[in-house]
Amino acid sequence: MTGTEKIKAKILEDAKNKAFEIEEQARQEARSITDQALKEAEMKKAEILKKAEAEGQEAYRRLISVASLEARKEILKAKQDMVDEAFIKAIEKITGLPDAEYQEMLEEMIAGAASDGTGEILLSGRDRKRVDSNFADNINRRLKTVGKNGTVSLSDEIIQTEGGFVLRYGDMEINGTFEIVFDMLRPQIENDVVKILFS
């Protein structure tokens, strides 16, 4: 082997070694970059998972809060429905009294609401059938007993009501229907009804 060939061989050998070194260094750098990328990816993954978990917990808390609010609304609505039902049942109980008791109660209510002058009593079709022929006379006797200078008579006009009466003096009407009476009483007794129902 001549000197030139030796030099060529040496250059080729050095080039191969250098290429191997460069290749090995490139592999190491690639591994290092890959490892760093994996570490960063793991960190990002952990960060994303942590954020997702926090957001999930917040969403869960919001859902629970909304569900709790909805449940409270439903409970309040159910309680309100029960209170409404209690008032409806009270009217049904009053209108379900035996005829004689019911008539006496109406007579007392009308006598208490009546004023001086001539008035007429309007009842529902059902109540007209429940009172006897002495109804107006009984009320007029009560009026005299308490010192009122007035008389009432039973009108042929029928009103739509669950029970109670309308007492008419010319253009003026006194509404003693149970729906109106209970609407007026409700603000005063509703708290007591609630205590009885839910205590």
- The Cβ of residue 54 has, within 10 Å, a number of other Cβ atoms equal to 10
CA angle 125, 128, 134 (to 5 degrees): 170
- Report which of residues 179 and 30 the model is more confident about: 179
117-123: strand order across its sheet = 150-158, 117-123, 166-169, 172-175
Whole-model pTM over 0.85: no
- CATH value at residue 125: 3.30.2320.30
Last-in-domain residue among 77, 95, 113: 95
> pLDDT digits over 27-45, tens only?
787 788 787 877 887 888 8
Strand-strand pairing, 117-123 and 166-169: antiparallel
Q: What average pLDDT does range 135-151 have in this prediction?
A: 92
Same domain assignment for residues 45 and 105: no
Range of the domain at 24: 1-95
**What is the model's pLDDT at position 3?**
65
Based on the domain organization, do 135 and 157 belong to the same domain? yes
Residues sharing a CB contact under 8 Å with residue 127, sequence separation 6 or more, in sequence order = 102, 106, 163, 164, 165
